[in-house]
Amino acid sequence: MEAKSVLITGATSGIGEALVNRYAQSAQVIACGRNQDKLSKFESSGVSTSRFDMTDKEQVFDAANKIEAQDVIILNAGVCEYIDDANNFDSALFERVIHANLIATGYCLEAFIPKIKPGGQLVIVSSSASFLPLPRAQAYGASKAALSYLTRVMQVELQGIDVTLVHPGFVETPLTNKNDFPMPCLVTVEQASERIFQGVFKRKKEVHFPRRFTLFLKLFSLLPFNWWLPLAKRIKR
């Protein structure tokens, strides 16, 4: 059954914004984010909004207390920052990324799981960066690997709710526009949102795309690490 009510975090840019536009064609959507200008544009088109910072636990719970139960809740918000010099590890950057991508998701799980209707669905957007250790991704990759593990455990333990884990490859967003390295198999946010929409509709346990890229990473993750190491070092250069 197609969802009639959907809440989406990280809705003011990138994949989240595209998901709002896709779901708004057939469902009542609550778009969540920090950018009030973007949220106001959603409101002008009939989409409900909720402004809060996921990294602020009090704001998350205040927002959750103001909404009705939803068919689907999509936790999509996240950040990406890279550690350029591993020999001079930036612990402040590491903490910032882990807090935004992982700890803040924990806030949302506590606050929003009770807001999912019985038989509803929780969707968590991780990253294909979680499959393999990638250069400069100590913070981002670690946060996403932990997020994927967290989601898998929720799939095991949550009762009465389906859980979908999303592993996108490279998607053309404001975050990836800052990347200074090649991004193979890059897809648009519209393509990404459609893949996620269809996967959630089918209640898949995992949605990963583009498959020619994610299957390559999954294959290498099964092989001895020494096979991946020289290729990863070449990517670094």
Average pLDDT over residues 195-210: 97
Task: Confirm if 101 and 84 have CB atoms less than 8 A apart.
Answer: no
Instruction: Indicate if the pLDDT at residue 176 is higher than 80.
Output: no
Instruction: Indicate if the pLDDT at residue 237 is higher than 60.
Output: no
| Rounded percentage of the chain residues whose pLDDT exceeds 70 | 95
Q: What's the confidence (pLDDT) of residue 175?
A: 67
Q: What's the confidence (pLDDT) of residue 172?
A: 87
Write the pLDDT tens digit of every residue in 39-95.
Answer: 999 999 899 999 999 999 999 999 999 999 999 999 999 999 999 999 999 999 999
Average pLDDT over residues 200-224: 95
| Rounded percentage of the chain residues whose pLDDT exceeds 90 | 84
Tally of structural domains, the chain: 1
Q: Tell me the CATH number at 53.
A: 3.40.50.720
User: In one letter, which amino acid is 82?
Assistant: Y
Domain of 212? 5-236
pTM of structure: 0.94
Write the pLDDT tens digit of every residue in 137-162.
Answer: 999 999 999 999 999 999 999 999 99
HSE of 97, CA atoms in CB hemisphere, 13 A:
22
Instruction: Indicate if the pLDDT at residue 177 is higher than 60.
Output: yes
Average pLDDT over residues 198-223: 95
